[in-house]
């Protein structure tokens, strides 16, 4: 190409280096579009035609296979910016503007630097001077068109992907429990151990109702979870990893296990993007807003109704009182934690612990105090209330005690059989892997010791794994026998007959779980009657029952049934009883002092003085 007298290239420009920027967006384009790559390399001849010697022309091709949507990760572009900034560049040459940048931020940064340092920009058609107004205007329009072109390309690709997904034909990554067949259809993973482990996971969540409880069960039973890491090219192999809360939740929240073909579970968001990240952050999309959700598209481990029930259960496990979610039972001695409601303001009551060692729970309603700085609604000591609710619960369960015992017995036997099945599959897998390693070792030529030694080490490692699994299995068998002895069965049935004993044997968390299966909420109010707590129990069946219990007070002014106590003391005095005899009689009749203790002779004496009752 011959230069005319209007060419902006000057001797000052030629005194600096000419940079040829070469880029293709993906590795596939580098392999398949070799003509385009070669055309960009031939720009060296164009720079030579402008008067640059070959030794002063530098090609930057570090960004082959990298997208131009951002400068992050593009070392070649960053190097070009640095060379311009230190004044080494006289000409920047690329096939078109889209090769240099696909976003306006990077493009205008390049234009600004070239304008400051007097660097020319050239493409396959002409040379531009960023210092000149009209050339800068053309370059700005070129960058805008380059970004708009990328937007249109993405839009067409996303629309095509969306339409294909709406037909259920888009090939999406599958979790470990599912696999593509030869015909392209989706079905269960053919590995029987993978299927059994996932069926066991859903069954345990159905029983325990908490992801962390399922995680603890898997950890105690030394059971691993199948995982398919989506790293590298497909197909992705299934690997076994220790159970964690995140992995359990991934299984429970994946609609594919319910046989649903879903597209668009997550979407990109500008909020929460990490510094230096090439891709934006993503956020979960609500189930009702999924763009594509084809139910019963392939076999599932659970049905859609159970999947939705699991999502609701996981949401309810979060402790959010403002959303009327009391969460899973927490640690602590208070039985009504999470389900106690204030009878005055209808808000959910919290907890605090009193006493010298902090072991006396108290139900507290402090919503007004926290929000407006006012007084607390009320405080109700928990021990007496919990005892009353326990009595009501055991009374309600008494007619079904035999059925409960039989159900518990069947649950224990089913649990033992399920764990035995999981162990048998686990042992079968390691034995197969050891046998496979032996066959590989036998297939190698004995003279090829380089390969034989490696295969021998692999075989030995597999044999050690078999031995380790057998040791763990025998340890598990000793700790948890598969079948229940006749004495154990009889003991379980006898515990079912004696519900109070069974209740006392359960842990606090287990008691809370049992209570929540029967009781929905308990409303507490100690205002209606002096010295009493009014209890309103709302059962899971929708039935409602009301009860009153006596509470301890500091003064006999707040004593419940003070008139009854005074009348009884007067009658006993009239019967020629002394203070010690009156205290014994009151104890026999179940009357307690204001602080909940049996009456003493001294307390009877003080009551007589209070009521002006003469002595015998």
pLDDT tens for residues 348-379? Answer: 888 888 877 777 888 888 877 766 666 778 88
pLDDT of residue 355: 78
pLDDT of residue 326: 59
Q: What is the radius of gyration, based on Cα positions, of the chain?
A: 39
Average pLDDT over residues 434-456: 84
pLDDT band at 2 (very low <50, low <70, confident <90, very high): very low
Backbone angles phi, psi at 15, to 5 degrees: -70, -15
pLDDT above 70: percentage of residues in the chain: 83
pLDDT band at 3 (very low <50, low <70, confident <90, very high): very low
The contacts of residue 184 (CB under 8 Å, 6+ apart) are: 171
Average pLDDT over residues 157-161: 87
The strand pair at 57-60 and 17-21 is best described as: parallel
Residue 482 has pLDDT above 50, yes or no: no
pLDDT tens-digit series, residues 236-245:
788 899 999 9
The residues spanned by each domain of the chain are: 11-163, 178-317, 556-610
Q: Mean pLDDT in the chain?
A: 81
Residue 461 has pLDDT above 80, yes or no: yes
Place of tokens 């700085």: 373
Residue 205 has pLDDT above 80, yes or no: yes
pLDDT of residue 379: 83
CA-angle at 509, arms to 508 and 513, nearest 5°: 115
pLDDT band at 400 (very low <50, low <70, confident <90, very high): low
pLDDT tens-digit series, residues 586-605:
777 767 676 667 777 777 77
Q: HEC string of 559-603?
A: CCCHHHHHHHHHHHHHCCCCHHHHHHHHHHCCCECCCCCECCHHH
First and final C-alpha spacing in the chain:
134
d(CA 210, CA 207): 9
Average pLDDT over residues 63-88: 87
Residue 273 has pLDDT above 70, yes or no: no
Q: Is 480 or 127 the better-scoring residue by pLDDT?
A: 127
pLDDT band at 226 (very low <50, low <70, confident <90, very high): very high
Q: Is 558 or 459 the better-scoring residue by pLDDT?
A: 459
391 part of the active site: no
Assigned architecture for domain 11-163: 3-Layer(aba) Sandwich (3.40)
Q: Is 583 or 391 the better-scoring residue by pLDDT?
A: 391
Residue 177, both tokens = 């429990």
Q: pTM of whole model > 0.85?
A: no
CATH number of the 178-317 domain: 3.90.1750.20
Q: Is 447 exposed, middle or buried (0-12, 13-18, 19+ CB in 10 A)?
A: exposed
Q: Is 177 or 320 the better-scoring residue by pLDDT?
A: 177
Single out the catalytic residue among 7, 25, 391, 600. Answer: 25
The strand pair at 266-269 and 281-284 is best described as: antiparallel
pLDDT of residue 403: 58
d(CA 347, CA 365): 7
Residue 325 has pLDDT above 70, yes or no: no
pLDDT band at 412 (very low <50, low <70, confident <90, very high): low
pLDDT tens-digit series, residues 292-313:
999 999 999 999 999 999 998 8
Q: Is 35 or 560 the better-scoring residue by pLDDT?
A: 35
pLDDT band at 339 (very low <50, low <70, confident <90, very high): confident
Question: Half-sphere exposure of residue 192, counting CA atoms within 13 Å on the CB side?
Answer: 9
Instruction: Say whether 178-317 and 11-163 share the same fold.
Output: no
pLDDT of residue 73: 82
pLDDT of residue 260: 93
pLDDT of residue 553: 66
Omega before 235 cis (within 30°)? yes
């Amino acid at each position: 190409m011959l230069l005319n007298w209007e060419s902006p290239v000057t001797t000052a420009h030629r005194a600096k280096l000419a940079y040829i920027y070469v880029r293709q967006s993906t590795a596939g384009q580098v392999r398949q579009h070799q003509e385009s790559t070669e055309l960009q390399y031939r720009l060296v001849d164009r720079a030579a035609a402008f008067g640059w010697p070959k030794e002063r022309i530098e090609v930057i091709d570090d960004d082959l296979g990298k997208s131009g949507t951002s400068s992050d990760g593009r070392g070649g572009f960053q190097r070009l910016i640095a060379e311009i900034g230190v004044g080494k560049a006289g000409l920047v040459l690329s096939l078109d503007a889209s090769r240099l940048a696909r976003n306006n931020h990077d493009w205008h940064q390049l234009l600004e630097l070239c304008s400051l340092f007097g660097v020319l920009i050239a493409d396959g058609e002409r040379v531009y001077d960023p210092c000149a107004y009209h050339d800068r205007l053309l370059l700005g329009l070129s960058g805008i068109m380059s970004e708009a072109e990328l937007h249109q390309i993405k839009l067409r690709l996303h629309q095509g992907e969306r339409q294909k997904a709406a037909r259920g034909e888009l090939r999406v990554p599958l979790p470990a429990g599912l696999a593509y067949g030869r015909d392209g259809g989706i079905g269960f993973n053919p590995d029987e151990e993978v299927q059994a482990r996932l069926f066991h996971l859903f069954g345990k969540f159905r029983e325990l109702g908490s992801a962390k409880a399922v995680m603890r069960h898997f950890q105690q039973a030394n059971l691993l979870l199948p995982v398919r890491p989506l790293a590298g090219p497909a197909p992705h192999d299934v690997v076994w990893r220790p159970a964690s809360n995140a992995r359990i939740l991934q299984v429970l929240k994946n609609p594919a296990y319910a046989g649903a073909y879903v597209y668009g579970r997550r979407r990109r968001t500008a909020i929460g993007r990490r510094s230096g990240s090439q891709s934006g952050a993503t956020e979960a999309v609500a189930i009702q807003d999924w763009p594509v959700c084809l139910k019963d598209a392939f076999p599932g481990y659970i049905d859609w109704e159970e999947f939705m029930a699991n999502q609701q259960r996981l949401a309810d496990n979060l402790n959010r009182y403002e959303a009327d979610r009391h969460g899973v039972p927490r640690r602590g001695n208070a039985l009504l934690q999470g389900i106690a409601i204030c009878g005055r303001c209808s808000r959910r009551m919290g907890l605090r612990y009193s006493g010298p060692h902090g072991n006396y729970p108290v139900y507290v309603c402090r919503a007004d105090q926290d929000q407006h700085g006012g007084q607390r609604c009320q405080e109700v000591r928990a021990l007496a209330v919990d005892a009353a609710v326990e009595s009501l619960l055991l009374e309600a369960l008494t007619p079904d005690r035999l059925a409960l015992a039989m159900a518990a017995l069947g649950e224990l036997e089913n649990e033992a059989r399920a764990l035995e099945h999981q162990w048998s599959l686990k042992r079968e897998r390691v034995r197969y892997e050891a046998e496979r390693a032996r066959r590989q070792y036998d297939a190698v030529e004995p003279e090829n010791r380089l390969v034989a030694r490696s295969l021998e080490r692999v075989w030995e490692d597999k044999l050690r794994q078999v031995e380790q699994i057998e040791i763990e299995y025998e340890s598990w068998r000793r700790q948890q026998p598969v079948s229940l002895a006749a004495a154990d069965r009889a003991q379980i049935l006898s515990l079912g007959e004696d519900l109070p004993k069974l209740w006392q044997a359960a842990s606090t968390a287990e008691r809370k779980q049992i209570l929540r299966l029967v009781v929905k909420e308990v409303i507490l109010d100690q205002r209606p009657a002096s010295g009493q707590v009014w209890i309103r129990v709302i059962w899971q069946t929708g039935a409602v029952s009301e009860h009153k219990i006596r509470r301890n007070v500091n003064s006999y002014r707040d004593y419940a049934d003070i008139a009854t106590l005074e009348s009884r003391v007067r009658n006993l005095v009239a019967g020629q009883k002394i203070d010690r005899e009156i205290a014994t009689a009151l104890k026999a009749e179940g009357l307690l002092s204001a602080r909940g203790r049996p009456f003493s002779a001294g307390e009877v004496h003080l009551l007589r003085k209070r009521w002006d009752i003469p002595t015998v």
